[in-house]
Amino acid sequence: MPNLGVVTTNKARCRDCYRCVRVCPVKAIRISDGQAQVYRERCIVCGTCVRECPQKAKQVRSDLSLVKELRAGHCLLIASVAPSYVAAFPNLGGGLFPAFLKRLGFDMVTETAVGAEMVAAATARLVADEPESHIASACPVIVSLIAQYYPWAIEKLAPLVSPMIAHGRYLKRIYGEDAQVVFIGPCPAKKAEAEEPDVLGAVDAVLTFNELRLWMEESGIRKDTLRSCVFDDIPAASARLFPLEGGLARAASMAPDMLRQDFAAVSGCDEVHEMLKTLKDGSTIRLFEALFCPSGCINGASFGDGRDIYHRKNRILQHEKRSPHPPSVETFLQASSGVELGRTIIPRPVEQPQYTPEEVRAVLIRIGKRTEEDELNCGACGYHSCKDNAIALLSGMAEDAMCIPWMRKLAERKADQIIDASPNAIVIIDEGLRVYEFNPAFAQIFSCTPGLVGKPLSCIMDPEDFEKVLARAVDRVTNKLVSYPNYHVSGSLNVYRLEDEDLVVGIISNVNKSTEGLNRLDQIRAETLANAEQVIGKQMLMAQEIASILGETTSETRVLLRKLTELMKESDTPAADVPTEP
């Protein structure tokens, strides 16, 4: 395929938002491992995904290094500039734009609109000679769309080359086949068109306005150092309106009644599909001038100017009006003499696998769509319907994880499973301090049944900590030691509020539910005190013997040891207030 590698994905920026899937008019985006990849065999290089990606993850292949290599050669280097340049570079008016390109290294700077004049004249002759409906083929995206997805409509395409190809062939005929022609415009599809086998060689490289703008910035050339100059070769005329809807008809000087009755200017994906539907059903319109980008080429994916569409359109209209003494029609007819403007467009239909209803139904069930009511057709996955998503899954273009409602259900189910399997006692209460939900561990530890739901938490335990969190007196309760003697339970309590809900969760961890366990620490301390008393008694006897030998009393020793005993007793706390190790 000629469009290999024109549009690609920067994986580091892709955030699996599926925006490119949603906006791609031919669903040429394949999701693999959560990454959106351009399926080159299906891509028509319209650049919609490039323009719409919020993360700027879609990128157009850069040919800037190739053009710089051509500049370093010994052949004549000619720039063929699309007429929309006046809107893309408004700060380089008055002849500064061609002057800048010459400073960059171009030997000649010419207008692609000259080729558009040739194509417009040929289109007018075709419509006059053949009464059936035609689609003007100046837009390479329209040609690719029809060749790949609507091959039946190829016979409706005007068998003519685009203005870019016509101008490239003209320049090489005039200045020699060795001349290197570089087209500069707003459309990434021109890169693919230049590589089509039947037009190969007319243009040697294609730069987008974005690439040119980057080159200008890198060059360091200052605007105030430029000397204004004019474009080389023949100046253009009405074809400078080609980037706008209806621009071809204006350049072809079609009669007003043709514009009212037999002509339709179409732009944007939706209008293009409506045009194709109309043609299939039968139409009295003799010429459809179709541009795939909404509002025409002034909205090209690689236009790169931040101004609105109306500002861009106004710039082009003013530029066309200011054109002094445009060449005559005869001048363009003479210039096009010997230039091959005809073209045979070859169909290259994209394979569309067919699946049985049973296969589609099996996939729908796999992603939780067991009934028609489950098919939300929400479009979150990027496809128009759940059935379209299922077909994409069968063809390897999509992944199960793209179904957001299904993934949410799975996540909720997993969360429920984790809570149900938790050994910690978990309870949720509502704003009225009533039990909202609890897990099996809570039910087992507190010996409660589902009938507890809706009843006050006070039936089980003191709700004070829950009430504080609910009233926002505290943000949360963390690792508070608690005991519930009625249930022989002790543990560590954590209480927190659920985000954006008037619900509070309580988790009792390190739970010990055993009378023996509750008394264990108390027994250990009692044994310790008994042992201490024995040690004190022995120490007292020994002290008395020593005191009699030394002639001293034992009163101070007795007081000291007694204080030690009392201190140990005071440090003792009831076992029910202190949780033991499980």
Contact 31, 16 (CB under 8 A): yes
Contact 185, 81 (CB under 8 A): yes
pLDDT of 529 reads 59
Please tell me whether residue 328 adopts helix, strand or coil conformation.
coil
Taking the model in full, what pTM does it have? 0.74
Contact 457, 429 (CB under 8 A): yes
pLDDT of 306 reads 77
How many helices, marked H, and strands, marked E, lie in the chain? 22, 16
Please give the chain's pLDDT, 582 residues, in tens: 344 589 999 999 998 789 999 999 999 999 998 899 999 999 999 999 999 999 999 999 999 999 999 999 889 999 999 999 999 999 998 899 999 999 999 999 999 999 998 998 899 889 888 888 999 988 999 999 999 999 999 999 999 999 999 999 999 999 999 999 999 999 999 999 999 999 999 999 999 999 999 999 999 999 999 999 999 998 887 888 899 988 887 777 665 444 456 788 999 999 999 999 999 988 888 899 999 999 999 999 999 887 889 999 999 999 888 876 667 767 777 888 889 999 999 999 999 899 999 999 999 999 989 998 999 999 999 999 999 999 999 999 999 999 988 888 888 777 788 888 889 999 999 999 999 999 999 999 999 998 899 999 999 999 999 999 999 999 999 999 999 988 888 999 999 998 777 899 999 988 886 544 445 545 545 565 566 566 666 666 665 665 555 544 445 545 545 554 554 454 444 444 444 343
pLDDT of 568 reads 46
Specify the pairing of strand 108-111 against strand 77-81: parallel
Q: How far apart are the first and last CA of the chain?
A: 69
Of 508, 483, 479, 509, nearest in space to 576 by CA: 483
Alpha helices (runs of H) in 176-255, residue ranges in sequence order: 189-193, 209-219, 247-251
Q: List the Cα angle 264/265/268 in 5-degree steps.
A: 130
Under DSSP, the state recorded for 105 is: T
- Cα 238 from chain centroid (whole Å): 40
CA–CA separation, 492 and 489 (whole Å): 10
Burial class of residue 208 (count of CB atoms within 10 Å of its CB; 0-12, 13-18, 19+): buried
Phi, psi torsion values for 82, nearest 5 degrees: -60, 145
Under DSSP, the state recorded for 455 is: S
E-strand stretches of 404-524: 425-429, 435-438, 476-484, 489-497, 504-513
